[in-house]
C-alpha cells in the first residue's frame, strides 16, 4: 500500500530539482558579464579534447562563472543538510551550524591555515585546507555542546546551547579577526570574506572538494534518516526501537561538521541557510527525515543560488557578500521561531 502523502513527497522533490536546475541556468547566465545560451554552449565546447584555449570570455565562463554556480549549489546543500541534521539531533528547530560554532570554528581553522602557509611559505597540499577547517569546526562544535551540557542531567537546554554558541562564535570570529589582522597575504586579510561569506573565490578545486564531502555526507546521512525519525519521539523511545542513540549522535554530528566545515573553508561563514531551509520544508510537508534531508539539499541549493543572484545583481557590477543576503532573509525567520516559544522550548 502506498500512502498518498508519500507520492506527493516524491513529486515535491522533483519540482524542487527542476527549480534548482532553472535557477542554476539563470545563475550562469547573469552577472558582471551576461552570457547568452549560445556563448555558454561554445564555452562548454572548449571542454572537448583537442580544443585549444578559447576566448577570454569563454575562459571567464569556464574558470569563474561555472564553478561558482556549482559551488553555490553545493554549499547551500551542505548548509541545508547540516541544519536538518542538527535540528533532528537536538529535536529543536532553532539549532543550525552557524549558531553552534561549527561555521565560525571552521572559518578559524581555515584562517589559521591560510596565515600559517603565508608566513611559513610552505606549499599546501590540496587536502590540507579542508582538514584544517574540519578540525576548527569540530573543536568549536564540541566546545559548545560540552559547555552547554547541564552537569546533573547530561542534557543541554536550548537557551544554554544558544548562549554558549554565541560566546564560542564570538571567540572564534575574533580569532578569525586576529588572523586577518596579522596576515600578510591580501587575500587572507579580507576579513569580510570570513565573517560574511562569499562565493567569489570559487574554483574547480573547491567544487570537487565540497562536492565530495557534501554528496558523500548527504548519502551517508540518508542511511540514518530512519534513526533520526525515531529520535523525534524521544531518546528513550528511540532506544526502545533499537537505536543506539549515543552512536547516532556521534555519527550525525560528525557528518554535519565535515560537510559544513569543508564548505565554510571555501566560502566563509554563511549564516541562517541551515536554519531556514529545513523550516520551510517542514511547513510544506512534515518532518520525515529522508524527505527532509534530500529536500534540504535541494532547497539549500535553491536559496543560496537565489541569494547569490541577488548578491551579484543588487549592486551590479559590484557584488555584495552573500552572507549579508542570507542574514537579511534568515534573521526574521529566526526571530519568529524564537517568539513561538511553545514550539521551541
Contacts of residue 74, Cβ cutoff 8 Å, sequence gap at least 6: 207, 210, 211, 214, 215, 263, 301
Q: Give the shortest CB-283-to-another protein separation in angstroms.
A: 9
By CB under 8 A, is residue 5 in contact with another protein?
yes
By CB under 8 A, is residue 85 in contact with another protein?
no
Decide whether 121 or 151 has the Cβ nearer to another protein.
151
Contacts of residue 128, Cβ cutoff 8 Å, sequence gap at least 6: 113
By CB under 8 A, is residue 68 in contact with another protein?
no
Q: Give the shortest CB-231-to-another protein separation in angstroms.
A: 8
What is the full DSSP assignment across 300-328?
HHHHHHHHHHHHHHTTTTS---HHHHHHH
By CB under 8 A, is residue 237 in contact with another protein?
yes
By CB under 8 A, is residue 91 in contact with another protein?
yes
Q: Give the shortest CB-35-to-another protein separation in angstroms.
A: 42
**CA pair distance 38, 47, nearest whole angstrom:** 15
Interaxial angle between packed helices 245-267 and 128-148, expressed in degrees from 0 to 180 and rounded to the nearest 10: 130
Q: Give the shortest CB-287-to-another protein separation in angstroms.
A: 3
By CB under 8 A, is residue 8 in contact with another protein?
no
Q: How many residues bind another protein (CB under 8 A)?
A: 27
Q: Which position among 48, 236, 317, 339 is part of the footprint of another protein (CB under 8 A)?
A: 236
- Cα separations (Å) of 333 from 203, 275, 280, 326, 330? 32, 8, 10, 11, 5
Cα of 264 vs its chain's centroid, Å: 7
Q: Which position among 12, 215, 239, 333 is part of the footprint of another protein (CB under 8 A)?
A: 239
By CB under 8 A, is residue 312 in contact with another protein?
no
Piece of 135-143, 203-211, 284-292, 323-331 that binds another protein (CB under 8 A): 284-292
Question: What cell numbers appear for 175 in the block?
Answer: 580569532
Contacts of residue 344, Cβ cutoff 8 Å, sequence gap at least 6: 92, 93, 94, 158, 337, 338
Piece of 84-92, 96-104, 131-139, 301-309 that binds another protein (CB under 8 A): 84-92
Contacts of residue 4, Cβ cutoff 8 Å, sequence gap at least 6: none
Q: Give the shortest CB-343-to-another protein separation in angstroms.
A: 9
**CA pair distance 270, 329, nearest whole angstrom:** 12
Using an 8 Å Cβ cutoff, are 275 and 334 in contact?
A: yes
Give me the 176-215 binding string for another protein, x by CB under 8 A, dash otherwise. ----------------------------------------
Contacts with another protein, residue ranges (CB under 8 A): 1, 3-5, 87-88, 91-93, 226, 229-230, 232-234, 236-237, 239-244, 282, 286-288
Amino acid at each position: 500500500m502506498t500512502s498518498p502523502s508519500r507520492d506527493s513527497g516524491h513529486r515535491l522533490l522533483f519540482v524542487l530539482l527542476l527549480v534548482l536546475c532553472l535557477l542554476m541556468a539563470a545563475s550562469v547566465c547573469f552577472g558582471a558579464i551576461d552570457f547568452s545560451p549560445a556563448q555558454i554552449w561554445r564555452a562548454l565546447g572548449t571542454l572537448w579534447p583537442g580544443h585549444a584555449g578559447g576566448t577570454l570570455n569563454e575562459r571567464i565562463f569556464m574558470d569563474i562563472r561555472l564553478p561558482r554556480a556549482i559551488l553555490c549549489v553545493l554549499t547551500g546543500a551542505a548548509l541545508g543538510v547540516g541544519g536538518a541534521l542538527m535540528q533532528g539531533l537536538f529535536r529543536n528547530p532553532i539549532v543550525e551550524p552557524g549558531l553552534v560554532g561549527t561555521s565560525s570554528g571552521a572559518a578559524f581553522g581555515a584562517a589559521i591555515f591560510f596565515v600559517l602557509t603565508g608566513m611559513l611559505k610552505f606549499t599546501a597540499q590540496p587536502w590540507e585546507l579542508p582538514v584544517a577547517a574540519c578540525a576548527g569546526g569540530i573543536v568549536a562544535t564540541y566546545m559548545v555542546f560540552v559547555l552547554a551540557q547541564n552537569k546533573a542531567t547530561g542534557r543541554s537546554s536550548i537557551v544554554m546551547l544558544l548562549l554558549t554558541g554565541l560566546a564560542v562564535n564570538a571567540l572564534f570570529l575574533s580569532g578569525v579577526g586576529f588572523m586577518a589582522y596579522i596576515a600578510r597575504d591580501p587575500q587572507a586579510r579580507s576579513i569580510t570574506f570570513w565573517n560574511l561569506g562569499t562565493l567569489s573565490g570559487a574554483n574547480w578545486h573547491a567544487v570537487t572538494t565540497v562536492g565530495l564531502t557534501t554528496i558523500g555526507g548527504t548519502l551517508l546521512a540518508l542511511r540514518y534518516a530512519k534513526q533520526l525519525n525515531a529520535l523525534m519521539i524521544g531518546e528513550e523511545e528511540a532506544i526502545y526501537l533499537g537505536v543506539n542513540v549515543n552512536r547516532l549522535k556521534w555519527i550525525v554530528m560528525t557528518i554535519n561538521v565535515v560537510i559544513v566545515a569543508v564548505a565554510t573553508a571555501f566560502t566563509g561563514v554563511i549564516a541562517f541557510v541551515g536554519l531556514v531551509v529545513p523550516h520551510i520544508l517542514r511547513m510544506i510537508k512534515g518532518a520525515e527525515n529522508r524527505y527532509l534531508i534530500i529536500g534540504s539539499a535541494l532547497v539549500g541549493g535553491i536559496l543560496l543560488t537565489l541569494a547569490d543572484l541577488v548578491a551579484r545583481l543588487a549592486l551590479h557590477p559590484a557584488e555584495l557578500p552573500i552572507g549579508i543576503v542570507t542574514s537579511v532573509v534568515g534573521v526574521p525567520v529566526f526571530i519568529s521561531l524564537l517568539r513561538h516559544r511553545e514550539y521551541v522550548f
